[in-house]
Amino acid sequence: MVLLLALDLACALFPVANWELVGELTVSNSWQLFPSEVIADTFRITTTILNLDDWNKWKFRSAAYFRFYYSDNSASPNYYLRVTDTATIYQFNVPTDLREQGYIIRTPACIRASRYLPLTPDSNFAQWALKLEALL
């Protein structure tokens, strides 16, 4: 339901949307923080496979878990993200109780998601990048 609402919102906003790059990371077996903090609730996520032969033939495929860290030392739930061919719009709202307390600035992070973890090293996975943009 959240994704459908986000897609409706994206269709309405695309002609006038102002997307700001938050960062792009190569997904790994460790939590990585994006280089910029964000205030936005609407995001565009683009995934890019870095080596198609590895992805299609030689190495394990994966997805990612995505979350936000807040300045009160709390974190959002993990959101599961698949690798897709097209950019996808997501709505990740700041929880109401945190918004009311003024905790609207948050730091996004991601980690690899795979059934082959935690025993499989980074080098056995096909590499792919996750690009995060925020709607201003």
Express each pLDDT in 105-128 by its tens digit: 999 999 999 999 989 999 999 999
First vs last C-alpha separation in the chain: 22
Handedness of CA 118, 121, 126, 130 (dihedral sign): positive
From the options 1.10.10.10, 3.40.470.10, 2.60.120.1380, 3.40.50.620, give the CATH code of 2-135.
Answer: 2.60.120.1380
**What is the pTM for the complete model shown?**
0.85
Q: For the chain, give percent helix, strand, coil, nearest 5.
A: 20, 40, 40
Domain map of the chain by residue range?
A: 2-135
pLDDT digits (tens, 9 = 90+) for 69-103: 999 999 999 999 999 999 999 999 999 999 999 99
pLDDT of residue 12: 55
Q: Report the candidate in 135, 115, 133 with the shortest Cα–Cα distance to residue 124.
A: 115
